[in-house]
Each structure stands twice: as C-alpha cells, then as structure tokens.
Structure 1
Amino acid sequence: MRAPRAPVPGLGALRQTGRLFALALEVARAIFRRPFQFREFVEQFWFIASVTILPAALVSIPFGAVIALQVGSLTEQLGAQSFTGGASVLAVIQQASPLIVALLISGAGGSAICADLGSRTIREELDAMEVMGVSPVQRLVVPRVLATMSVALLLNGMVSVVGTLGGYFFNIVLQGGTPGAYLSSFSALAQLPDLYVSELKALVFGFIAGIVAAYRGLNPRGGPKGVGDAVNQSVVITFMLLFFVNMVLTGIYLQIVPPKGG
C-alpha cells in the first residue's frame, strides 16, 4: 500500500491566488451583463462614502503636513527651498492620496463587504440564490466592487486637494516659506499626467479592495469565527497587494511619462 503524499508547501496559497484572479475575471465580465443592480450599487456607494469621507479628509491633512515639513526640511538642507512646493504636491498626489483612500476603503468599506457576504454565505443564502438561477457574483459582488471603485475615484480628488492645502499651510506657517515660491515650484514640476496616474491608481486600488473583500466573504472557513477571520485576512491581504501594485504602477509611470522639462 502506497503511503499518502505529503502536502506540497505553498500549494494552498497558490490555489487561493488562482481563485482570487478567477473571481476578478468573473466580476470584470459580469460588469457588462444585464440586468445591472443599480439600487444595490447606490446603497453600497452611499454606505462606503459615508464611512470614509470624513476620515479621509481628516487623515489627508496630517499626511500633507508631514510630507511638506519633511520635504521642506530636506530642501532647506540642500539649499533648494524653491522646489519644496512641487516635490510636496507631487508626493501627495501621486503616492499619498491613492493609498490613503484605498486603505480607508479597505478598512471601513471592505471589511463591511466581507462581513456581509460572509454572513450570507454561512447562512447558505448564496446557495439558495444559485438554486433559483441568480448569480451571486452579478447580484451582490459586482455592485459592491463598482461602489468601491467609484468612491475611491471621487475621494482621491478630495484627498489630493485637502492634502495639498494642508502641506501648503504648514510649509508657509511653520517653515517660513513664501506662497509665491510654493506655487511656482508646483506649476514648474507638476503636469496633468500626474493627476491621471493618481486617479488610475485609485481606480485600481478600489477594484483590489472590493475583489479581495468579496473573495474572502464568499469563502469563509467555519461559522461566525470564520467570518471574523476572513474580515481580518481581507484587510491584511488588501494592504499587501496595494503596496505591491503601487510600486509596479509607479515604476511603469516613471518609465513611460518623462518628467516635466525633461
């Protein structure tokens, strides 16, 4: 009698990754199917926006201030104070703003999505929907993923503005910068593609947050405790993916779009 094979290390994680990508492709296809659950989308959009808009505005102020103060201190040491505004604003728009929005959406909206779908799963509501010929992905997952993407896209613009104003205020008040030098360096270094890549990052990050939350919600292990574990896992996995994808998108952008004046 042959001995049972030992489990292959890492095979479970690889299988889970494949299922996550399969769900992402299924959601991408289901977005264009009819009927579209517009009411569900509006309800999810309003919920996610209501729990993230105020924290996003409050968090963006210290983020913009810290970046402006750090960049201002560095440029002062190098004798390049005139570049403080441009460097600070670009850091806020390209890097800080999309990540702030995505982390808040994942922590607040994504965890709620995962808990909702997980509770439906353990109560076998999704199985009942499939028996009735209703696709849970199209009925429940697609509106939630589109809601996270839409909220991320809109909040990113607000966080960019608030973070930039916060950095401007603290640079002028605490570091003795001049408004003219701050604004002139910003206009000299910034360009419209910087805003485009920021919005693209927010859209991609919102998609990742929604997909990961939905996947963990659809695949909880055990009862209510498994749902709680799935919520924690969805937040951690989303954070890891966000930073990796941000590195990839930033590298591609810097290779494709030349700096202004370059």
Structure 2
Amino acid sequence: MAASLIGVPAAALRQAGRLFALGATVLALTFRRPFQFRELVEQFWFIAGVTIVPTALVTIPFGAIISLQVGSLTQQLGAQSFTGGASVLAIIQQASPLIVALLISGVAGSAICADIGSRKIREEIDAMEVLGVSPVQRLVVPRVWACVVVAVLLNGLVSVVGVAGGYFFNVLMQNGTPGAYLSSFSALAQLPDLYVSEFKALLFGFIAGVVASYRGLNPASGPKGVGDAVNQAVVITFLLLFFVNAVLTAIYLQIVPPKGG
C-alpha cells in the first residue's frame, strides 16, 4: 500500500519531466533544418479559423462583466472616474491572455492532441521513426509555433474588443462619461502592461501546444485512450496556465512600478 502511494508522485514527476523535455526539444528543433514552414502555415490557418470567432464572442461579455463589476465597485467608493483605467488593466493584463489561451487549448489543443494521438495508435509515428523522420520536428514543432503565433495575434484582438466592450457598457449602462473613461485609461495604463500581456499570450500558447502534443504522443491504446488523452491535455493545460499566470503576475508587479509610482 505504501509503495503504491509513493509510486503516484514518482510517476507524476516522471511525466512532468518528459513534458518539460518535450518543450526543450521543440525549442532545439525549431532551429534545425528543414523547418516545416508549409505545415506551420496550414496549422496557423486551421487554429485561427476555429478560434477567432469564439474568441471574439467570448470577449464581449467578459469585457462587459469586468467593466460592470469594476464600475459598480468604484461607484460605491466614490471613484467612478477610475473605472476605465481599472477595467482596461484587468482586461489587458489578466483576462485577454487567459481567454486566448483557454480557447486555444480547448478548441485547437484538443484537435492537435486528437490528430497526433490517432496517428500514434495507427502506428504512423512509429513508421516515421523507422524511416528516420523525427515526429517532433515534423508534427509537433509547427503545431506548437502555430499556437504561439495565433495566441499572440488573438491577444491583440481580444484586448481591443474587450476594452471597446467595457467602454460601451460603462457609458451606456452605468452613465459613465467617455472622457473620464479614456482619461483614467491613459492615466493608469502603460506600455509594459501590453508587453506583459503579449508575453503571457506567447508563453500560454507554447504551453498549450506542448501539452496537447505530449498527450497526443503518449495516449493509451485504442480510440478510448485518445479520447482520454484529449481530456487530460485540456485539464493539464488549464492548471498550468493559471499557475503560470499567478507567477508571472506576481513577478511583473514586483519589477514594474505602477504608472506614477
């Protein structure tokens, strides 16, 4: 009984080590020729096609919720003039990269895991290795970097749509003034806020692509194993994203002083 309990964390540590090893391998093989540029473009269009509309639709109510909640709180505190700045910072720094990463993981990451997993159980991955072709370089690297590129680009879209939605709902539903919203935005927001948002999106896209590819390369046997791998990939990515986001936010707030501070 004790041996079995000890074996659980040991197996988890081995899985974590293999996951980090795959991420390091992806970075190393990125600079090795031949780079699968055509596969990268195809995966980019696929991921962008399946995520851009859901991302935009999710962003509008998300920005509205943040704006309404922050506006209600600032009204209670008598600081309604700071609604715009607080809402924009929350959307750009936190909501935007997380929304993008969660949708990429849930929509594109599950498709990537299912695709690679089905190739694995059909023994296509083994055939590639027998032929001397690296499955990581051929399949994983372009998919991971496609997730990264789409995440960075979609993060800009989400930021714009979220800020515009927050502005609309604050002015329309909470009787906020356009001038106060924009002035507080310019008074509190700064360029490093956008930089950290884009860096988060880049890192989150990389994590989503690596986790999906790892679970696809290591499914249990049969179609049920592939389905379980897809579910595990999404859950693991969600947990990693929230943990990494907390760490990055804490580091950013310690390094970059607030505007005017």
TM, length-normalised to structure 1: 0.98
Compute the displacement of 1:12 (Å): 1.0
Equivalent position of 2:161 in the other structure: 162
* Cα deviations by residue, 1:19-63 (Å, 9 ceiling, x for unpaired): 101111111101111100011000100000000000111110001
2:233 maps to a residue whose letter is S
* Cα deviations by residue, 1:197-225 (Å, 9 ceiling, x for unpaired): 00000000000000000000000012110
* Cα deviations by residue, 1:162-191 (Å, 9 ceiling, x for unpaired): 000000000000000000000000000000
Equivalent position of 1:188 in the other structure: 187
1:107 maps to a residue whose letter is G
Root mean square deviation of aligned Cα: 1.0
Structure with the bigger percentage of helix: 2
- Listed as ranges, the matches of 1:84-99 within 5 Å are 84-99=83-98
- May I ask how many residue pairs the two structures share in their alignment? 259
Cα distance between partner residues in 2 of 1:6 and 1:152: 42
Equivalent position of 2:27 in the other structure: 28
Equivalent position of 1:199 in the other structure: 198
Compute the displacement of 1:14 (Å): 1.0
Is residue 126 of structure 2 the alignment partner of residue 121 of structure 1?
Answer: no
Cα distance between partner residues in 1 of 2:107 and 2:234: 9
Compute the displacement of 1:6 (Å): 2.8
Equivalent position of 1:6 in the other structure: 3
Equivalent position of 1:132 in the other structure: 131
Equivalent position of 2:213 in the other structure: 214
2:63 maps to a residue whose letter is G
Unaligned runs of 5+ in 2: none
Equivalent position of 1:78 in the other structure: 77
Seen in structure 2, the aligned counterparts of structure 1 residues 38 and 79 have a Cα distance that, compared at 3 Å, is same
Compute the displacement of 1:5 (Å): 9.0
1:153 maps to a residue whose letter is V
TM, length-normalised to structure 2: 0.98
SS at match of 1:6: helix
Percent of aligned pairs with the same amino acid: 80
2:52 maps to a residue whose letter is I
Is residue 41 of structure 2 the alignment partner of residue 42 of structure 1?
Answer: yes
